[in-house]
Amino acid sequence: MWAVTGVVAVAAVALTVGVLHGRQSVAGQVVIPWWGLSIAYLLSGILVAHITVRNQAYTFTLSEVPMVLGLVAASPTALITGGFIGTALSLVLYRRQQPVKVIFNLATFLVEASVAIVVMQALLGGHTVGSSFGWLATLAGTVTSSALAQVVVLVIVVASAGALPIRQVARTLAFMLPASVLNTILGLSGLHVAGQDPQLAALLLIPCVVLAAAYRSYLSERQRHGQVRQLFEASGALHRSRGVDASIATMLSRARDMFNAEVAELILLPAVSPGEARRFTMGPGDGPVIATTEDAGDRGELALRQQAVVLGPGGPPGVLAARGWRDGIAVSVSADGGVNGALLIGNRRDTVSSFGRADLDLLEAFAGPASVSLANGRLEAKLEHQAFHDSLTGLANRALLAQRIQTALLHGPRDDFAVLLLDVDDFKTVNDTLGHPAGDQLLIEIAQRLSSCLEPADTAARLGGDEFAVMLRSTARVDDAVAVADRILAALRRPFNLAAWDVTVRGSIGVVIDNPSVASVDDLLSSADIAMYRAKAQGKDQCVVFEPLMHVEVLARHQLRADLERAVSGRELRVHYQPIVSLTTGEVIGAEALVRWAHPVRGMVGPDEFIPIAEESGLIVPLGRFVLDEACRQLSAWQRTLPSLHLSVNVSARQLQEPELVNDVAGIFARHGVNPNRLTLEVTEHVMVNDARAVDALRDLRSRGTKIAVDDFGTGYSSLSCLRDLPIDSLKIAKPFVDRLARSDDDRALATSVVGLAHSLRLDTVAEGIERPDQAEVLRAAGCRCGQGFLFSRALPAAEFLARFGSQKSTAPFLSLAG
Ligand code: C2E
Ligand code: CA
Ligand code: CA
């Protein structure tokens, strides 16, 4: 722009100097001084009308009027000096144009004035300016010079747009030339009248002003019409764009076109006040939208303005300077109802005009459809987000994880990754005992801890229930993946505070490293699953890396599940009995019924191996019923041989959810003619806490005479005081607690107080897993009434149990009973 302007300016000055050299004044009897022309030019510069058609701005003035005055009633020097000063003042003071535009417009003035002088004086020949021939010569001078001025403008258009908009030029000239003729006639008549009667000439100012006003309104009407059409088209385009990115691109490109600007920018502010703002810029030049993230900082100020503003001295400070823009306008846009963004448009493309009032109106009108489109785009993005994310935790869902793994698999060895599969072992218990809201809260907090262990490139997903997965992009090395898994396990170990309880959970993680043998997403996830199950089986709270051999094991587990189904319905389950003895007398007062599986191939399988599978598959319900039935049958068979024996049977949480449980149990007692008070049902303490249905079932059972024991007391998260209101008769103190006993005075004191508290709640106490006499002694000294453990006997088949403990044989020899 500067280059073209410079060339035009130099040419204009040269032309002017040439014209002024040796030109004589042709003025008649009225002579206007140079400053008079300055005033006239200043006025015509104020009474202007602009129009922007497509990318081009046109300015209409009454400049022919002062031009005529100068040609006819002043010297060429006075016309050029006076006109130059008047024009300069109007451009700088009134229209506040930038230097390049001021210079360009002044150069145009010089060309116009010089050409008018040359044409007019050449045609005039010997005639006087007052003659009708003189008038025609003046008219020719002004019209030629205005046409030439348009040519100069065209040079600029072609230079900046690189093309000649022929139809527009024709349209402009069709409007400009008649206007120019009209203005000239107006000026000439004014002069003529002034020659006759100067006061009457003053009256002529009125038609001049009216004419200027008419131009203005005509042009602004035309312009508004064009803008409405552009706005209409732009909203249509915005409406059609799908998704946030598309609507932002449309918004920016339309804004650039509409305001004939080089750059358009959208700033979206974060929902929370200190956060990162996102900035989308289009231009200068062609190219895609560039998105950047930055500190929100002072951008907030822009977005808070409801009305559009012109950027610059009057507007928000520093916005132009920060972007290196010459000029600009801004308006706030909203994406979700609230104000949270700003649309900025900068660097007007044409040289003659800058942003003004009309642009602000148009921009405000544009902000409406822009906001709607943005909001729609966001809504779509939200829906898409929903389709690929878990609504509870906000993590990716299975579909998104599968998609990402699939993409990485397609990329082959160039795109290495690892997958971790995490199962939260105690989630079901928390959900059953503390309720669903606490369960949900636990999942949310697990998701947060999980995410905090990862890099941004990694994907954390919730696959459903309590199963989570991670796709590690940051590393594909075994050591690193295991390190991440260990970090996750460590994060889970910290207690979770849920519904006023401190709950601890343990995770089991399976790790799979991407390798050429992985064929599909399912393949990969099932390998991770296998490794995860191995971690679980090895005692939880650990991670296991998948190895191909593990497949064999999985098959075995599947087999086991199928076998178990057969076992439960067939005759493979056995019940063994482990004695419960009095710690004071050594007398066997009862036994716990423990299930065994006589597997046709694998031999005797322990419950730790298949109870979890039975619980998972629901087989625990028929299994539990079988054990209870078998125990009752045994009890009634021992009616004579072991008349005072008491039996304990384990009941799992799942069974207590069965509505038919109470009736089932009553039916079993009735069938075998067993008195319910000779039976204790053992339930883990997890079940007791906050699971209203289970507690109701237990209360019901207890009201019919059955005793209830809390199994594994001391390993969970209940306290003695919360047991006060529960329907229970005894506590079974868990083995880990017993293991610690003999170690220190502290542990001993603890044992004493636990037993004491239990007694104060009128609860009987049975210590489990006693393996050494000293443990038994400490427990006895603490006041614990009964004990159970390998010290006395393992669980035995019914016949063996009878052989050893029938007819009340005492276990006293195992106890080093004091007294
Ligand atoms: P539990 O109810 O805590 O049963 C006690 C377990 O500790 C039994 O293991 C028993 O053999 C073992 N044990 C007893 N004394 C000692 C000892 O001094 N040292 C050691 N190391 N272990 C000892 P078992 O029979 O393998 O049963 C394991 C678990 O399986 C039981 O733990 C119980 O939770 C479950 N279970 C067994 N039978 C049934 C059943 O019929 N129904 C249900 N729902 N669960 C059952
Ligand atoms: Ca038990
Ligand atoms: Ca137990």
pLDDT tens-place string over residues 515-565:
777 778 888 898 899 899 888 888 778 999 998 888 777 777 778 888 999
Atom of ligand 1 nearest to the CA of 606: 26
Locate 102 and state its tokens.
């001021």
Pairing outcome for strands 459-464 and 467-472: antiparallel
**What distance in Å separates the CA atoms of residue 489 and residue 304, rounded to the nearest whole number?**
46
User: Around 810, how many Cα atoms within 13 Å sit in the side-chain half-sphere?
Assistant: 11
C-alpha distances (whole Å) from 491 to each of 128, 428, 458, 495, 577 are 103, 19, 17, 9, 41
**What distance in Å separates the CA atoms of residue 333 and residue 718, rounded to the nearest whole number?**
54
Mean pLDDT, residues 414-421 taken together:
86
Q: Output the CA 649–ligand 2 centroid distance in Å.
A: 7
Question: What's the mean pLDDT when you consider all of the chain?
Answer: 83
Q: Output the CA 572–ligand 2 centroid distance in Å.
A: 21
**What distance in Å separates the CA atoms of residue 681 and residue 593, rounded to the nearest whole number?**
10
Atom of ligand 1 nearest to the CA of 652: 44
Inform me whether the pLDDT recorded for 812 exceeds 70: no
pLDDT in tens, 701-737: 999 999 999 998 876 555 566 677 789 999 999 887 8
The confidence score (pLDDT) of residue 716 equals: 56
Start-end of H helices in 426-501: 427-434, 436-452, 478-493
Inform me whether the pLDDT recorded for 53 exceeds 70: no
Q: In a 3-state reduction of DSSP, which class is residue 592?
A: strand
DSSP string, 727-747: --SEEEE-HHHHHHTTT-HHH
The confidence score (pLDDT) of residue 59 equals: 63
Higher pLDDT, 431 or 563: 563
C-alpha closest to that of 34 among 44, 42, 24: 42
Q: In a 3-state reduction of DSSP, which class is residue 63?
A: coil
Pairing outcome for strands 276-282 and 261-268: antiparallel
The residue nearest atom 4 of ligand 1, judged by CA position, is 594
pLDDT in tens, 735-776: 878 887 767 777 777 778 788 888 888 899 999 999 999 999
The residue nearest atom 27 of ligand 1, judged by CA position, is 607
Query: Residue 434: pLDDT band by 50, 70, 90 thresholds?
Result: confident
233-237 long-range contacts, Cβ below 8 Å, gap at least 24?
234/258, 234/366, 234/369, 235/368, 235/369
Ramachandran region of residue 540, left (φ > 0), alpha (ψ -120 to 50) or beta? left
User: Do you know the residue count of the chain?
Assistant: 819
The residue nearest atom 30 of ligand 1, judged by CA position, is 607
The residue nearest atom 42 of ligand 1, judged by CA position, is 650
Start-end of H helices in 34-165: 34-46, 64-73, 76-89, 99-124, 132-161
The confidence score (pLDDT) of residue 819 equals: 32
The residue nearest atom 21 of ligand 1, judged by CA position, is 769
- What residues contact residue 260 under an 8 Å CB cut-off, 6+ apart? 52, 54, 55, 56, 57, 348, 349, 350
**What distance in Å separates the CA atoms of residue 27 and residue 796, rounded to the nearest whole number?**
137
C-alpha closest to that of 266 among 310, 316, 303, 295: 303
**What distance in Å separates the CA atoms of residue 798 and residue 576, rounded to the nearest whole number?**
6
User: Around 627, how many Cα atoms within 13 Å sit in the side-chain half-sphere?
Assistant: 26
Atom of ligand 1 nearest to the CA of 607: 30
**What distance in Å separates the CA atoms of residue 518 and residue 495, rounded to the nearest whole number?**
37
772 in Cβ contact with 791 (< 8 Å): yes
Q: In a 3-state reduction of DSSP, which class is residue 447?
A: helix
The confidence score (pLDDT) of residue 786 equals: 96
In the chain, the amino acid numbered 55 is: N
- Secondary structure string (H, E, C) spanning 358-402: HHHHHHHHHHHHHHHHHHHHHHHHHHHHHHHECCCCCCECHHHHH
The confidence score (pLDDT) of residue 273 equals: 57
Q: In a 3-state reduction of DSSP, which class is residue 222?
A: helix
Q: Tell me the pTM.
A: 0.46
C-alpha closest to that of 356 among 318, 301, 309: 309
The residue nearest atom 23 of ligand 1, judged by CA position, is 769
The residue nearest atom 8 of ligand 1, judged by CA position, is 594
Residue 789: exposure state from Cβ atoms within 10 A (0-12, 13-18, ≥19)? buried
Q: Which helix (H) or strand (E) holds 767?
A: strand 764-767
Query: Residue 629: pLDDT band by 50, 70, 90 thresholds?
Result: very high
**What distance in Å separates the CA atoms of residue 547 and residue 418, rounded to the nearest whole number?**
14
With a Cβ cut-off of 6 Å, ligand 1 is lined by: 578, 594-595, 606-608, 611, 624, 627, 650, 652, 682, 711-712, 768-771, 788-790, 795
Locate 155 and state its tokens.
């040079």
The confidence score (pLDDT) of residue 585 equals: 92
**What distance in Å separates the CA atoms of residue 312 and residue 564, rounded to the nearest whole number?**
81
Mean pLDDT, residues 199-218 taken together:
77
The confidence score (pLDDT) of residue 722 equals: 67
Our mutation pick for probing the ligand 1 site, out of 604, 650, 794, 801, counting the most ligand atoms within 8 A of Cβ, is 650
C-alpha closest to that of 457 among 436, 469, 438, 472: 472
- What residues contact residue 729 under an 8 Å CB cut-off, 6+ apart? 680, 702, 707, 708, 709, 763, 764
Q: Output the CA 429–ligand 2 centroid distance in Å.
A: 17
**What distance in Å separates the CA atoms of residue 422 and residue 659, rounded to the nearest whole number?**
32
Query: Residue with structure tokens 């082959």?
Result: 412
Q: Output the CA 670–ligand 2 centroid distance in Å.
A: 24
Residue 437: exposure state from Cβ atoms within 10 A (0-12, 13-18, ≥19)? exposed
DSSP string, 149-175: HHHHHHHHHHHHHSS--HHHHHHHHHH
Inform me whether the pLDDT recorded for 62 exceeds 70: yes
